[in-house]
Amino acid sequence: MDFKKLRISNFKSFVDPVEVSIGKGLTGVVGPNGCGKSNLVEALRWAMGETSYKSMRTSTMDDVIFSGTENRPARNFAEVSLVLDNKERNAPKDYNSEETVEVTRRIERESGSAYRINGKDIRARDVQMLFADVSTGARSPSLVRQGQIDELISQKPEQRRRILEEAAGISGFHVRRHEAELRLNAAQTNLERLDDVLKELSSQMRSLKKQAREANRYKSLSEEIRNAQSIVLAVKYQVVNEQLIESKKQFTEAVKNHQESIRGVASLNSEEIKLQSDLGPLRESAAKDSAKLQRLVIEMEGLDKESLRQKERSLELSEFIQSTKSQLVRENEILTDLRDLLSKQGDNEINIQKKHDIEKLIKEYNEDLIKNNILLEEFSSIYSKQENIKKIISSDNDLKESILSQIKRENNLLDDLNISSDDNKIEGETFNGKEQSIRS
């Protein structure tokens, strides 16, 4: 395997892209301690698939990325490319189409590494096998790092054997053998698992056979159920057909009844309009009768008050008549006594004078009697007037009863008309209130 170039970018101390040409013969890098000579070897080993961060002298694999200085910021990735000469077409067939084989490894912070060969993404195992087939690799003894000579001298025979095998060119076979053993172990494990799976599948097959029998039975029963359901549906369809015919007949009759009802409603509406037109005069007459009734009520209240006054006056006159009669009786007694006294007296002047005085007194009594008779006649006329007033009141009561009966007839007529407006309700309440007041 012939290395031609090594390209480094952002790897450890190589922040700027660097391309190191590896010519034929001896290529050396000379410099003081700490200038990055060991970083070149580590970049070569890292590109060949090194997975141990300790071999890279770092605490984590992300530390191979340039971490920055006071003057330059840190980077987020690092990339190393190793160019191999393939003019003799010794590379594996997958990469043998070009004269050079470029192996590239790129790492991003906290994202891991990615490998490419000639621009195609591959696995880390493929890169390791590419170098193992030519007896080299990231941990090959042919790459001597710092302090490795002392390790080679103090190694055990098994470790020295690995160096000899690599020098003999059979290390790749050991790697492939190791991979084959891993695959065989994995296949054995898969076979053991396959036995378990087969056992599980056999138990599942038994359950599936049982389920298949049940499914077949279910299928036959479902077929019978579908047949029975089809028969039931056919019967239901026939019944529904008959019900539909009957419903159509009922619908036709209902349409006829509906049309008749519409005609009846139209006639009722016309009658209602006619009754409403007739209701206007009735309302006017009812209003006139209510006004007339109000006037009569007022007059009747006045007559009631006048009747009370006349009754009180009649009582006073009766008491006065009684007192006058008693006074007339006393005066008649006095007059009789005077006449007896006159018959007993003589014809002397004194007696004559007394007689004249008595006659004068009698005359005065007669005048008073005449006045009392006149007053009595006046009282009698007033009493007769009171009787006439009572007759008028009784006639008014008859008129009141006739008006009440008329209002009742009008209210009955309003109820028959079924007037539901608010105005008619208010008028009906007014008439009822008047009727109640008249009855009271």
How far apart (Å, rounded) are the C-alpha atoms in residues 358 and 351? Answer: 10
Residue 348 has pLDDT above 50, yes or no: no
Residue 78 has pLDDT above 60, yes or no: yes
The pLDDT confidence band at residue 244, using thresholds 50, 70 and 90, is very high
Is there a contact between 122 and 116 (Cβ–Cβ < 8 Å)?
yes
Q: What is the DSSP string of 5-54?
A: EEEEESBTTB-S-EEEE--SS-------TTSSHHHHHHHHHHHTT---TT
pTM greater than 0.75 (yes/no): no
- For residues 97 and 361, which has the higher predicted lDDT (pLDDT)? 97
Give the model confidence (pLDDT) of 136-154 as tens digits: 777 776 776 666 666 666 7
Give the model confidence (pLDDT) of 81-128 as tens digits: 999 988 888 888 888 888 899 999 999 998 889 999 988 999 988 888
Mean pLDDT for all residues in the chain: 77
Residue 354 has pLDDT above 50, yes or no: yes
Give the model confidence (pLDDT) of 187-219 as tens digits: 988 888 888 888 888 888 888 888 899 999 999
Q: How far is CA 25 from the centre of its chain?
A: 88
Structure confidence at residue 404 (pLDDT): 58
Residue 92 in 3-state DSSP?
coil
Average pLDDT over residues 285-296: 82
Angle separating helix axes 422-439 and 171-344, nearest 10 degrees:
30
The pLDDT confidence band at residue 230, using thresholds 50, 70 and 90, is very high
Structure confidence at residue 365 (pLDDT): 55
Structure confidence at residue 5 (pLDDT): 92
- For residues 80 and 359, which has the higher predicted lDDT (pLDDT)? 80
Average pLDDT over residues 311-321: 79
How far apart (Å, rounded) are the C-alpha atoms in residues 153 and 160? Answer: 9
- CATH 3.40.50.300 for domain 2-138: yes
Say which range, 65-69, 172-176, 383-387, 426-430, has the weakest mean pLDDT.
Answer: 426-430
Structure confidence at residue 139 (pLDDT): 75
How far apart (Å, rounded) are the C-alpha atoms in residues 303 and 396? Answer: 10
* Adjacent-strand bridge partners of 80: 8, 105
Structure confidence at residue 439 (pLDDT): 37
Give the model confidence (pLDDT) of 258-289 as tens digits: 999 898 888 888 888 888 887 777 788 878 87
Residue 438 has pLDDT above 50, yes or no: no
Structure confidence at residue 9 (pLDDT): 93
Structure confidence at residue 11 (pLDDT): 93
- For residues 405 and 62, which has the higher predicted lDDT (pLDDT)? 62
CA distances from residue 281 to 39, 74, 424, 434 in whole angstroms, order as listed: 126, 111, 14, 20
Q: Which of 381, 375, 383 is nearest to 321 (CA)?
A: 375
Structure confidence at residue 409 (pLDDT): 65
The pLDDT confidence band at residue 297, using thresholds 50, 70 and 90, is confident
Give the model confidence (pLDDT) of 363-377 as tens digits: 665 666 566 556 656
Structure confidence at residue 408 (pLDDT): 64
* Adjacent-strand bridge partners of 113: 107
Where do the structural domains in the chain lie, given as residue ranges? 2-138, 289-439
